[in-house]
Amino acid sequence: VSRLSVRLAEKIAPGIRNSELLDVVTNVWGLTSRENIPIYRYDFRVLEEYPPKKVAKNLHLKK
């Protein structure tokens, strides 16, 4: 196994869209997308935990 350098996306100002073409080496053949799907460098969700109105055993999560 050879050690390849990690390729990171260039930092850009928030709110500016950018794109680039790159070659991907994979063991999956015929990798195509059915539609144009944006891929973001950072994708995260923030879940907020809050107490329910009645005392319950299960926790409620709010997105």
User: For residue 52, what pLDDT is reported?
Assistant: 59
Task: Kindly list the averaged pLDDT for each block of 10 residues, start to end, along the chain of length 63.
Answer: 73 75 72 70 66 60 58
Would you state the structure tokens that stand for residue 36, as one six-digit string?
Answer: 């144009």
So what's the pLDDT on residue 42?
67
Residue 10, pLDDT score: 80
pTM over 0.75: no
Of 10, 34, 35, the C-alpha closest to 22 is 10
Domain extent, residue 60, equals 38-63
Region of 30 on the Ramachandran plot (φ > 0 left; ψ -120 to 50 alpha; else beta): left
Does any domain span residue 17?
Answer: no
Residue 31, domain member (yes or no): no
Q: How far apart are CA 56 and CA 29, in angstroms?
A: 49
What is the number of domains present in the chain?
1
C-alpha 19/C-alpha 31 separation (Å) is 19
* Residue 24, domain member (yes or no): no
pLDDT of residue 24: 72
Q: Look at residue 55 in the predicted model and tell me its pLDDT.
A: 59
Is 51 a member of any domain? yes
pLDDT at 1: 56
46: in domain: yes
